[in-house]
Amino acid sequence: MTESPDWPAGVARHVLPRIDSTNAEALRLAATLSGPTWIMAREQTAGRGRRGRAWRDPQGNLAATLLIRPTGSPADASLYSFVAALALHEALVATCGPAARVQIKWPNDGLLNGGKVAGILLESAGQGARVTALAIGIGVNLAAAPDPTTLEPGATPPVSVLGETGHAVTADQFLDLLAPAFARWQAQLETWGFAPIRSAWLARAARLGQPVTARTGRDTRHGTFEGIDDSGALILTTPAGRETIPAADIHFHEA
């Protein structure tokens, strides 16, 4: 395949006809890859979302994973989810056009006109406090959205790029936008640290300053979404005061 002239230098690209999970394949191949590599599948049969949920992947959508070898701690590696979110936002804006409303939903979703159009999943391999390989998986509903009845109650309704905008874009075309965008935001993180990434992310965040519900495995918190801290954790103002929540599912309060 001929790569886009904007494809980032030194980054490989593997396109597979069918695979269980691009994240799983990336981690299986990690020991054999000589540098950062995007792995994209035409068909993904066992995609994964957060907390072990299935990621349903209708034909024509994007299923891709970037495998990198970050330096630093697992906490440092987790910041790449915000890099991925910014790259995803940039690629969606370029694809969907100025009339579309593209936002980021903490911690890992892309929204298009209020519906969920994309998700991000980070998985890592390593020993102890060292991450030796990081798989950054991104799924985008380009051609079709999954059946809403297959999702858990309270989930953000799914949408597709084609359904919301009428724009038909292939997975290859979208990856040609996504990979260079990721490289640019990655360079910012690695040069300047998390602060500019955090500011850019907040400028694109959905429901900032509005009421949300944060659900963890044990607790439910209702409050106002105030932003994210220097580690990427959610800042929520509740009746009990200001709380920092490192991991949760966020549900919006609909009018």
> How many residues are given for the chain?
255
225 in the same domain as 198:
no
Residue 1 has pLDDT above 80, yes or no: no
What is the identity of the amino acid at 29?
L
To the nearest 10 degrees (0 to 180), the angle between helices 194-203 and 80-96 is 40
Domain that holds residue 191: 12-203
Q: Which of 41-50, 127-136, 211-220, 228-237 has the lowest mean pLDDT?
A: 41-50
Q: Is 130 in contact with 122 (CB distance < 8 Å)? A: no
Residue 156 falls within a domain, yes or no?
yes
**Same domain flag for 65 and 182:** yes
Is residue 12 very low, low, confident or very high in pLDDT (cuts 50, 70, 90)? very high
Residue 4: inside a domain: no
Average pLDDT over residues 4-8: 91
Count the domains in the chain.
2
pTM: 0.94
Residues 81 and 175 in one domain: yes
Q: What is the pLDDT of residues 122-177, one digit of tens each?
A: 999 987 778 999 999 999 999 999 887 777 767 899 999 999 999 999 999 999 99
Contact status, residue 93 vs residue 183, Cβ threshold 8 Å: no
Confidence of residue 212 (pLDDT cuts 50, 70, 90): very high
Looking at the structure, do residues 53 and 118 belong to the same domain, yes or no? yes
Instruction: Tell me, yes or no, whether 140 lies in a domain.
Output: yes
Edge-first strand order for the sheet with 115-127 is 12-16, 37-41, 62-68, 130-140, 115-127, 109-112, 102-105
Please report whether residue 5 resides in a domain.
Answer: no
Residues 149 and 59 in one domain: yes
